[in-house]
A and B are shown apart, each in its own frame.
Chain A
């Protein structure tokens, strides 16, 4: 049989085609995931951030407060 068409060469080419298909799909996958920020998932949330006065525990007597 002509050496050019032996089973090894055919297999070699077939594997190259399989790999190229996979590389093509990876390119497509990369392009597909190029959308940068998922705006729905990353909304900036300011309304819930409200300034709060520092809380004073109810059982502290502020008139007789001393530091030891």
Chain B
């Protein structure tokens, strides 16, 4: 009974914080303009998207400052674009971002924003054609380009009377997306149809290579909170995000089993590899039930923080990006070092004690098992659908 009350209170707190943060006022663009241009007179000429006309010192020519918005990896990015009287972009400024700071810093340090200078406001402003993306921060680069494009085209058409040659939005579907879909389908067939549990070592290895070192993408607390907060990236250019996030979640909700963690998680795969250093049979496994509650507590804390700040990157503490993206602060590297070292001695130390993704998918699978007879009644399964016998 006490457990149920605690669960209800925890969920109610999350919903309450999410509702409160959604009602909280957005950053006021007018206030921002006054801060950055204290000496210049300007007027708001449009509010969707917020557009300002600012006088130049000679009093004759007008500059336009327009605020565009697009979803990045961690949520909406707000970008201010300054357009000169000739219709050329003069400056691009990140006003609001929810990206992980190390990724945003990567974009800023690569002088990505400078690439927009002198581009015509009515140009397509297409990533890969007009602008080069920053390796390792493609989603953030694309979001910035989309936000600049949104604002610039608005000014070009409605203020400068220019016509835009907009290309139809093309769907990004290539080798990466195809590999991810094939891997997910393979896991579904091998685990649910053929029930070949030993083959998971092959799919895990493939996931380490494909999701980990190649695509540098996996389900994280950031993607879970972005999903729950409605910060969904554009599907035509981020299909891989949908395949992996909705794929992992979909399997849990469809089958009542958390297959992602032990069949597809690249960080789980790396821990399995490190456990082989001494031999799997020599590795201990966390057996303390209190320690096994930690992932759920951390999931709740991370979600609470992200909802409170309306920023999915805030709750992100996992070492995935540090390992596969080779980016992070000293603390991130230290955490990775501890986890990798300990996982030589304790089997899946991170998964059993700290992983919020495993906790979330376990909860989804449990809900499905409780509710569900959608497709079939899944048999009673152990945590993560994992054989508890470590010698297996």
Contacts and interface: CB of A to CB of B under 8 A. Distances in A.
Interface of A: 8-9, 12-13, 15-16, 18-20, 22-23, 25-27, 29-31, 33-34, 36-37, 39, 42-47, 49-51
B315 A27 contact: yes
Contacts of A23: 298, 317, 335, 354
Contacts of B56: 46-47, 49-50
Contacts of A47: 56-57
User: In the complex, which of the residues B40, B63, B101, B332 has the most CB atoms of chain A within 10 Å of its own CB atom?
Assistant: B101
Given A25-B331, A44-B82, A49-B84, A34 B338 contact: no
Given A12-B284, A27-B301, A39-B35, A22 B63 contact: no
Nearest to A24: B317
Given A22-B331, A36-B95, A51-B85, A16 B353 contact: yes
Interface stretch (B153-161, B224-232, B306-314, B380-388): B306-314
Contact of B317 (A26, A42, A45): A26
Listed from nearest, the 8 A-B pairs whose CB atoms lie closest are A33-B101, A26-B317, A22-B335, A42-B93, A36-B96, A30-B314, A23-B317, A44-B36
Interface string B327-347: 001011011001100100010
Given A26-B331, A29-B331, A43 B36 contact: yes
Contacts of A50: 56, 58
Given A19-B338, A27-B301, A36-B96, A12 B316 contact: no
A19 B355 CA distance: 12
A19 to B, nearest CB: 6
B288 to A, nearest CB: 8
B95 A37 contact: yes
Given A15-B346, A39-B35, 5 more contacts: A27-B305, A30-B101, A47-B57, A49-B56, A51-B84
User: In the complex, which of the residues A9, A39, A42 has the most CB atoms of chain B within 10 Å of its own CB atom?
Assistant: A42
A47 B40 CA distance: 9
Contacts of A22: 331, 334-335, 338
23 contacts: A12-B291, A15-B346, A15-B349, A16-B294, A19-B335, A22-B338, A23-B335, A23-B354, A25-B331, A27-B305, A27-B317, A30-B305, A30-B314, A30-B317, A36-B95, A36-B96, A37-B94, A39-B36, A42-B94, A44-B36, A46-B40, A46-B56, A47-B56
Contacts of B91: 44-45
B164 interface: no
A13 B342 CA distance: 12
A35 to B, nearest CB: 10
Contacts of B101: 30, 33
Interface SS majority for chain B: mixed
B113 to A, nearest CB: 9
Contact of B291 (A16, A26, A27, A29): A16
Contacts of A27: 301-302, 305, 314-315, 317
B335 A30 contact: no
Given A16-B353, A36-B95, A37-B96, A46 B338 contact: no
Contacts of A31: 305, 309, 314
B65 interface: yes
Nearest to B61: A51
A27 B306 CA distance: 10
Contacts of B338: 15, 18-19, 22
B37 interface: yes
User: In the complex, which of the residues A12, A20, A25 has the most CB atoms of chain B within 10 Å of its own CB atom?
Assistant: A12
